Structure 1
Amino acid sequence: MSPELDRFHLLIRSVSGEPRSGGRLAALLDRQEPAPWPEYTAAMFEMTIELSFKRSLRQAWQEAARRSAPPRPPQVEPSVPTSLDELHASTVAEFIALLRTIRLRSGLSLPKIAERAGLPRSQAYSMLSRGNLPTKPEQVRLFVITCGLPEPQVVQVMELWTKLQ
């Protein structure tokens, strides 16, 4: 039992006294993990408890529930569904079209890509709108990584950029 849950159970006992054996509240207080809050409120329904103390109980329960919850898995951005066969460009126009396709499949707006990649917004727009090859490789790399390409595909895009230089 966590210290937070133990504290919460002590607070309940301070109000209710020792719950009767076999009762709903006794069963809740025997648990090693916090029960959902409505179960506690139902068990304490007939008790006369001041509102301020009910708030204290609720806060203690929230802390106990937070501490005993399993850790959340990290949020992972989905990869862009682009096959290695699609990652080809023999001209600058094809390379820019490839960058546009990657951006569209990412589902991100250009301002959002620029923000996440730490690029100037104007640079993100010009990368896709001008007829020239982007000049800075680190910006191209940041752009495709932010769009969700996995590392092997990022490497292939950068090889295409190098060949077109």
Structure 2
Amino acid sequence: MANIKIESAEQLLASEGLELGTTDWLQISQERINLFAEATGDHQWIHVDPVRAAEGPFGACIAHGYLTLSMVNLFLPDLIEVSNLAMGVNYGCDKVRFPAAVPVGSAIRSRGQIVSVEAKGAAVQATIRVTVEIQGSERPACVVDTISRYSFKQ
């Protein structure tokens, strides 16, 4: 269930600066990393070779940065639910950063904040900063400003 529920364009337009809270923790397994490697063709040893990665700079396999980024799509509906829509689309991302690696077996979660909201014709565009945190780490795994456009039912 989402932390925040938005049901109208007016409510979304008034939500700039709103903190969305956090999601539940999710463990990143070697199986998830391997499946991502298969889907993208990125089989770099630091992600998929536990023996070699154990002797590498992180001491274990790490999740792909883009795997971590893709988890934002899983976490966003837990941060915010926008209903009464005719349509909602992912418009893009700004300022993607990967401050820390996610070692295999780590637990991650997301924290969100609505950083800007503006009317775009009949739609409302919202930029939501999603910070992917690593349990026990001071630095986040990923910080991204996601941009979505919502068209509400009339």
Please tell me whether Structure 1 or Structure 2 has the larger radius of gyration of its CA atoms. Answer: 1
- Whether these two folds match at TM > 0.5 is no
Name the structure with the higher helix share.
Answer: 1
TM-score under structure 1 length normalisation:
0.22
TM-score under structure 2 length normalisation:
0.23
Greater length-normalized contact order (CA 8 Å, ≥ 6 residues apart): 2
Name the structure with the higher strand share.
Answer: 2
